[in-house]
A and B are shown apart, each in its own frame.
Chain A
Amino acid sequence: MKAAITTVTVIDRDAELTLGDLARACGAETAWVVELVEVGIVQARRGRQPADWAFQGDDLRRARQARRLQRDFGVELDAAALMLDLMEEVRRLKARLGALGG
């Protein structure tokens, strides 16, 4: 069965995620996303009110990783924030190493 061609939305500056989008995409409550903003795991752009917040694809990736760390290891969110930063640094360094042919 051949499906019709699906058009997509690229998540970027022109098409950001709302607080509700981000929560739903993680299978979580919006209150949990507010906590993520507070500990700095995701960055709310735009307005001061949660209803005006906007997020990007990177935020969704980090939020889902944080969810997994919480679920798998029962870590607190600020510990998850540190783990995410370290994981990202490792990925960045590995990419550099790969670029240098290492």
Chain B
Amino acid sequence: MEFKDYYQALGVDRTASEDEIRRAYRKLARKYHPDVSKEADAEARMREVNEAYAVLGDKEKREAYDNIGAGVSPGQGFAPPPGWDQGFEFAGRPGGFEEDAEFSDFFSALFGAAARRRGGAARMRGEDHHAAIQIDLEDALRGATRDISLRGIQYDAQGRPEVRERTLSVRIPAGVREGQLIRLAGQGMAGAGGGEAGDLYLEIRFRPHPLYRAEGRDLYLTLPVAPWEAVLGDTVQAPTPGGQVEVTIPPGSRNGRKLRLKGRGIPGNPPGDLYLVLDIAWPPADSDRAREAYKNLAREMPFDPRRNLGAQA
């Protein structure tokens, strides 16, 4: 296990005041906040910063960390001496351990045991955990069983915490939407003193699909059409999740026109629709014949696209 330098993570001195630590944390939290950050490694950095602040922002934990960290340099191999945290009682803020599962082994080894002892005697329900699961659109259309790996803390016979990876096979029901939450009862943190385990909430995320874009239960597909198909109307073949269908392009269709195929989106009650968004594609003028055809069109069609701008043709 590597010793983590939490002071370095927050960019503060070991002598920094509580105020300085809070200010440094807020500055970094703003920089790496997953909802706003443009940094590529924002999520990983935010985890580090959160972990550092969970320790340094808490007077008791900081003191314990300072005691144990004296004489150890960052990156050095490290194992906490047995019983090192005896003298400390970690009050912890409500919800302070909410994100334990995302913290490092180092953190868990130092503070996991203490948290465990704190609730050791009392019967306590385990905390709920949160994670996200990425699925394909096809999984939402037809339902699927997908594996998800989770890191969580487990305790050995001596009550020492270990970070263990476990795999859950999750049955994704057909009809789930992007952003929807699914609940796995009893798959959160284990309870203490015979209390029941917490739940695990998974947020559904879709991998980008080469053809379709989902909005709620509705799907959008960009359908390229030739100018004459759009202007004169025609019947063309279009893909749908359920297979190819024949669709009628109404005459006089403009670019961006949406054709709705009712009920051909993500299943549900009611099911979503599939929208075909027309995208008029112009044939390239890459041969004499093609150029002649365009010139013909220009000659035959009295058409001024700028007539509404008040400019003379």
Partners in one complex: yes
Chain A interface (Cβ < 8 Å from any Cβ of B):
1-12, 15, 24-29, 57-58, 60-61, 64-65, 67, 71-74, 87, 95, 99
Taking the nearest CB of chain A, how far is it from the CB of B177, in angstroms? Answer: 9
A10 with B184: CB separation less than 8 A: no
Q: Is B187 in contact with A29, judged by CB distance below 8 angstroms? A: no
Interface contact B98-A2, CB-CB below 8 Å: no
Q: Which residues of A contact B97 (CB under 8 A)?
A: 27
Contact partners of B176 in chain A: CB under 8 A: 10
Q: Given A25-B199, A64-B130, are A11 and B181 also a contact pair (CB < 8 Å)?
A: yes
Query: Counting chain B CB atoms within 10 Å of each CB, which of A9, A28, A72, A73 scores highest?
Result: A72
CB B84 to nearest CB in A, in angstroms, measures 26
Q: 8 A-B Cβ contacts within 8 A? A: A3-B168, A6-B168, A6-B187, A8-B182, A8-B202, A25-B130, A26-B95, A57-B203
Using A8-B171, A11-B183, A24-B125 as known contacts, say yes or no to A29 and B130 having CB atoms under 8 A apart. no
Name 16 extra pairs, CB < 8 A, besides A5-B171, A10-B182, A11-B182: A3-B167, A8-B173, A9-B182, A9-B185, A10-B183, A11-B201, A27-B95, A27-B97, A28-B94, A28-B95, A29-B94, A57-B179, A57-B203, A60-B201, A67-B95, A73-B29
* Interface: B152 (CB within 8 A): no
- Interface set, chain B 75-119, CB cutoff 8 A to A: 94-98
What chain B residues lie within 8 Å of A65 (beta carbons)? Answer: 35
B166 at interface, CB cutoff 8 A: yes
Judge if B298 is at the interface, Cβ distance under 8 Å: no
Complex Cα–Cα for A35 and B145 (A): 38
Cα(A46)–Cα(B187), bound, Å: 28
Report the Cα distance A9→B30, complex, angstroms: 34
Contacts of B29 in A (CB 8 A): 72-73
- Smallest Cβ-Cβ distance to A59: which chain B residue: B181
A67 surroundings in chain B (CB, below 8 A): 95
Q: Does B213 have its Cβ within 8 Å of any Cβ on chain A?
A: yes
Check: B235 CB closer than 8 A to any chain A CB: no
- Tell me whether B169 and A4 are in contact (CB under 8 A): yes
Q: Which 3 A-B pairs have the closest CB atoms?
A: A27-B95, A57-B181, A27-B98
A17–B168 Cα gap in the complex (Å)? 23
**Chain B residue nearest in CB terms to A83:** B35
User: B182 near A1 (CB under 8 angstroms)?
Assistant: no
B94 and A27 contacting across the interface, CB-CB below 8 Å: yes
Closest residue of chain A to B127 (Cβ to Cβ) is A27
Cα–Cα, bound, A30→B225 (Å): 55
- Is B169 a contact of A87 with CB atoms below 8 Å? no
Asked whether B273 is an interface residue with its Cβ less than 8 Å from the other chain, the reply is no
Interchain CB contact (< 8 A) of A8 among B35, B95, B130, B183: B183
B33 contacts across to A, CB distance below 8 A: 72
